A and B are shown apart, each in its own frame.
Chain A
Amino acid sequence: MKPRVHESAEGHVSGRAVYTDEQHPPQDLLSLWPVQSPHAHAEIRRIDVSAASRMPGVVRILTAADVPGENDTGPILHDEPLIANDRVSFHGQAVAWVVAVDEASARAAAACVEVDYVPLTACLSIADAIARKCYHLPPARVVRGDAATALDLAPHRVCGEVAIGGQDHFYLETQTSWVQLDADGLIQVTASTQHPTETQVIVARVLGIASNRVVCRCLRMGGGFGGKETQANPSAAIAALAAWVTGRPVRIKLSRQLDMQMTGKRHPFFARYEVGFGDDGLLHALRVDLYADGGWSCDLSPPVLMRAMVHVDNAYFCPHVEITGRIAKTHLASNTAFRGFGGPQGMLVGEEVIARIAAELNLPADRVRERNFYRDDGDGERNRTPYGQPVVDNHLPELWQQLKHDSAFDARRRAIAQFNAAHAQVKRGIAITPVKFGISFNKTEYNQAGALVHIYTDGSIQLNHGGTEMGQGLHTKMLAVASRVLGVDAARIRVMPTSTDKVPNTSATAASSGSDLNGQAVKAACETLRERLVPVAASMLGCAPEAVRFADDHAWAGTVPDAARRIAFADLVHAAYNARISLSATGYYRTPGLSWDPKQGRGHPFYYYAFGAAVAEVEVCGFTGVHTVRRVDLLHDVGDSLAELIDRGQIEGGFVQGMGWLTCEELRWNDKGRLLTDAPSTYKIPTLGEVPHDFRVTLFRRARAPSTEVIFHSKGVGEPPLMLALSVREALREAIAAFAPTPRPVHLISPATPEAIYAAIEQARRVEPLAMTEALDVAT
């Protein structure tokens, strides 16, 4: 039976579900607080901790000199000091950490650490980085055909720009971990991390010890969204360092302000595009320059940028494509993974281009969208992405038509046109946008997973797998997989905290791949155990091994339910133990058929694509630029869902999170590089009030069986729905366009705050040509 709700739901509502910083605190637990840089870029001349060291409760003050191993937490490049050494690279960076008996004492002492800085010129925006050519790594490229020639030959050719804001993860539980050393010098790390293996490896790196001396455990996270993929590592590493140096257990839980100031966010992007197209709106050629704000260190920016580059196409075929991507190196917090991992920014640019074509030709945008879809017709060339992968199992055209029909799109658009004609100061807009999102880590080697399943002699089961639980319901789905393969009640199975001593060398729980990868590994482990139990069951039941079936907590002889020919699972297990059969098994999985050449920007990086589409209707006030979302219809393809309520929760939650990114969530810094929006009083994620009462979500029932072997024919659902929110942005564009006296393109920055929408309305009313930003007008 499919699970209904989250396996921890009762723990959540009762407050009994335990999070990292809520475990029974060990004796002598210490706390940490950072000494933060007041400069975005400066040389450190001197750090004087003498006064602070004498403050009450202070045990130790850590500086770079205290790091026994490598002072670095960078996941790809080693360019990210855990504690700043001779220079600070962003406002709020830690130059020292106070270890004290409690957080208040540590905080008070941190204010008394004296640091002399020599301020240096700081690069504080993408425009700044472009002007000064400050980049991480050489440019990346994805190219097909000859965009330059095709642009020259195209009947229409326009260029444009779009600025895209970043996004704070705003997981409700901030970064947290605690570390203790056991008697034999084993480092036990408990962390709120999406990537326990990487946390383990980086703790070992910082302490200069082998990975086998570090165990990292994760119970559950109070939200992750990509923000605890690499960003959990520095917190765990500093707690480990403090525990190492003091010999006492140490905890850290960043305050909300520290978390927002010090940790990375979704990358802000800037894009310039040039597109050639026909009278019918069909794409002929597209050239895009993408700039991602990487921040001070590289972190995961290269794969984020690449995912953006391979999602500019979204659902649209373009024969000639040239996409160049650069990572701006700025003196800001280092940007990182966030649900969609660059995909949302890339797709926003793609939708911007399509909307522009529609406006230039005065065609309905939905028509231009569907005309340009990838389609599997004949030779398959119209169904191949710029990086060479065919769009396998492309359900989008039928999904699209179904949503248009079910949402009464055409009729509502006509009604909106009438409404707009009758109202001068309030306009409505409706838009439908598609999502095609590639599932798998772009980096092929991450697409593997392991599991470890123990059956105990009383018939109870422990399930370990390499994935982490951050609210997405992975554990619930893994329970469903194990109980289905073993034919047992889920109540028999306990999902254990993720731990690197149970399943080693795991990948991050990320890229929407958690249940695909770990589900197959769990299935493999459970199948191994089942196969071991079959001969025992066959002999007890007196049937052939091939006839043994596992279901309803029993082993059965044959498929016909017959109470006389069954054995209770617990009895079978006990018999197997007596027969000296191993009741513990590992499972392992690697995704087949993947390849990727990052230098060429070509290959088959995704096992399959997730599809969805969204219709959003908005109303915009012409006096203020304030908007409301009146209705949303989502249709999303999750395959054969492992847990429908959980998948629905991912779709709704992802959509609203995407809507926040595109509307009310705005990051602002001052001219010193200090983040001004570092608390929920200034950084506004959506509340219930922003969510429309008319919010319709349907799971797509595909007509054809998939060609891939995803766990029980389900599909990954973590990230793709976030991009359904692009429908809100495009609906806003439609509403803004209705303020213009004559049809014309709408220039809308992202996020579409009331201020941004008001500016776009004013521009639409004035009928001005689109201006290019001079500072960004650089040679490509």
Chain B
Amino acid sequence: MRPAVTARRAKPFAPRYSLAMTTPCTFQLNRRTVDLTGSDPTESLLRWLKRQRLTGTKEGCADGDCGACTVALLQTGSDGRTRLAAVNSCLLPLGTLPGRDVITVEGLQDPGAALHPVQQALVDNAGSQCGYCTPGFVMSLFAGYYDGDLGDATIEGNLCRCTGYRPIRDAAAALSRQPVPEDAFATLLRAPSTPGAGELGQYHSPLTVDAAIALKQQHPDAAWIAGATDLGVELSHGRCIAPAFIALDRIAELQQLAIGDDAVRIGAGLPLSQLETRLAGLFPALDGMLPWFAARQVRNRATLGGNLGTASPIGDLLPVLLALDAIVHLRGPGGHRDVPIAEYFLDYRRTARQADELIAAVTLPRHPALPGAARRASASYKVAKRQTDDISIVAAAFDVAIDDSGRVTRARLAYGGVAAMPRRAANVEDFLLGRALDAATQETAKGMLREAFTPLSDHRAGADYRRALCATLFAKFVATHLPDVPA
């Protein structure tokens, strides 16, 4: 069944993808040009580094979960700022590299020169024991140092099994008091990193949406790949062998962010770490979830488009989009169409997006003033075995409005991790509408929420706990954000 189409426009023509725009198959590694011609584009940067005997970058998991392989990737955002972004090299296919700049731990220090301030801070604070995770911490701190952000989030994506982290946290604090030197990296950050179209084997990195769609028509079996934080895991384990890849991470159009009075339009290719800073304060439910979405290295590459494309039943941001009535903007050979988020998810990892369509943007309505609403509360929650950098047991997002008489005028109760796809508890929303949020209503709603879904038991948690959380997270939301609603 094809979902409702709210807008459609035929494209006059599909431009041919031009090789003339293609950047050479080289990249800058530690400020030196390296030729990748003939390399397997799906090999991870981590494996490639090891084959070059650059063994400072370590493999702790090859899953993007330990941070031992962290390197810094020069990225210029659509806000015009160039950053050294910490990324997991195990999740970075070589195909993403042509035209880019990468710094590894070997590049921080010229031969014979003193340690970089980041390295020295770790030495001074006894921040290493076995040392195997240390280069990864060095690179996360290095990126944070030049970005002026050395808080906990900078290193939450790096696992250390020896130190207990206290000395590393102290090293970060000491660094945050040191001015950034006028060095080669500061120079690097002044020039934008704008790689041209890339092509390494069957890994295509076009610059426009039209070119991407044209490529997809030429290579129907090609996989879209955005930040590669999900497909990168498959590639890292030698699994997903799509015959070709079309990368969406160089398309300026997908990186746009338009903050309007009524709505915010978010480019599907914008890294989540940019949403974290540039949308801060606009959507409490988004603010509440983004810091718990994986870790910094992943958020520096992961995108809203990728989250929607993967359509994981958990996909932490997906319940937030459901609660906020997001609109998904798709682009395909036939033009573009808008799909309300409520109609986007169809089944387990199946969505309204057709194979030849890509996700261009997501619009979040701002609902500045609902008619008659006296109060509006919006929040999100994530419960996991470990609260930092884990996959949700249950993720939930709520958006509720109440009128002057205390009656519910809007209710969105959205969950991840409780069904084959992210879902709203529609029957409970209907029940709440028009009722006062008094103790009796809450009790009934909680009872209904416990029965609303039939979640699985797995290695993360049992079904009973998941059912309980559906109810208690709503109770927590009401207690926290609407504690004194008139009964």
Contacts and interface: CB of A to CB of B under 8 A. Distances in A.
Contacts of A691: 164-166, 169
Given A623-B472, A652-B167, A664-B386, A688 B156 contact: yes
Interface of B: 53, 55-58, 60-63, 65-66, 68, 104-106, 108-109, 115, 118-120, 122-124, 126-135, 138, 152, 155-169, 238, 295, 381, 383-391, 393, 458-462, 465, 468-469, 472-473, 475-476, 479
Interface stretch (A447-455, A571-579, A672-680): A672-680
A672 to B, nearest CB: 13
Interface in A636-679: 645-646, 648-649, 652-657, 664, 666, 668, 676-677, 679
B112 to A, nearest CB: 12
Contacts of B65: 679-681
Contacts of A472: 129
A170 B161 contact: yes
The 6 nearest A-B residue pairs measured at CB: A15-B56, A471-B130, A222-B132, A12-B131, A689-B388, A656-B164
Contacts of B133: 172, 222
Given A8-B131, A223-B132, A682 B459 contact: yes
Given A680-B66, A754-B385, A649 B167 contact: yes
Given A15-B135, A623-B472, A682-B460, A666 B389 contact: no
Nearest to A644: B126
A753 interface: yes
Contact of A652 (B152, B159, B163, B476): B163
B167 A626 contact: no
Contacts of B458: 676
Given A22-B55, A220-B131, A753-B385, 18 more contacts: A15-B57, A15-B105, A170-B161, A173-B132, A223-B162, A471-B132, A623-B475, A623-B476, A623-B479, A624-B469, A624-B472, A653-B161, A664-B385, A680-B60, A688-B155, A688-B158, A689-B152, A689-B388
Contacts of B169: 688, 691, 693
B162 A256 contact: no
9 contacts: A9-B128, A12-B135, A13-B118, A19-B55, A104-B238, A173-B60, A689-B156, A697-B166, A753-B385
A138 to B, nearest CB: 35
A283 B103 CA distance: 61
B63 A172 contact: no
Contacts of B115: 10, 13-14
A225 B164 CA distance: 14
Given A15-B135, A173-B132, A626 B58 contact: no
Interface of A: 4-6, 8-19, 22, 24, 104, 107, 169-173, 220-225, 255-256, 425, 470-473, 621, 623-626, 628, 645-646, 648-649, 652-657, 664, 666, 668, 676-677, 679-682, 684-691, 693, 695, 697, 753-755, 758-759
Given A10-B115, A666-B385, A691-B166, A653 B159 contact: no
Contacts, number: 234
B161 A225 contact: yes
B385 A471 contact: no
A676 B459 contact: yes
Contacts of B163: 649, 652-653, 656
A679 B63 contact: yes
B130 A223 contact: yes
B115 to A, nearest CB: 6
Contacts of A14: 56, 105-106, 108-109, 115, 119
Given A425-B476, A652-B166, A687-B386, A754 B63 contact: no
Contacts of A758: 465, 468
B167 A688 contact: no
Contacts of A16: 56
Given A653-B163, A685-B161, A9 B123 contact: yes
Given A107-B238, A626-B387, A680-B159, A17 B131 contact: yes
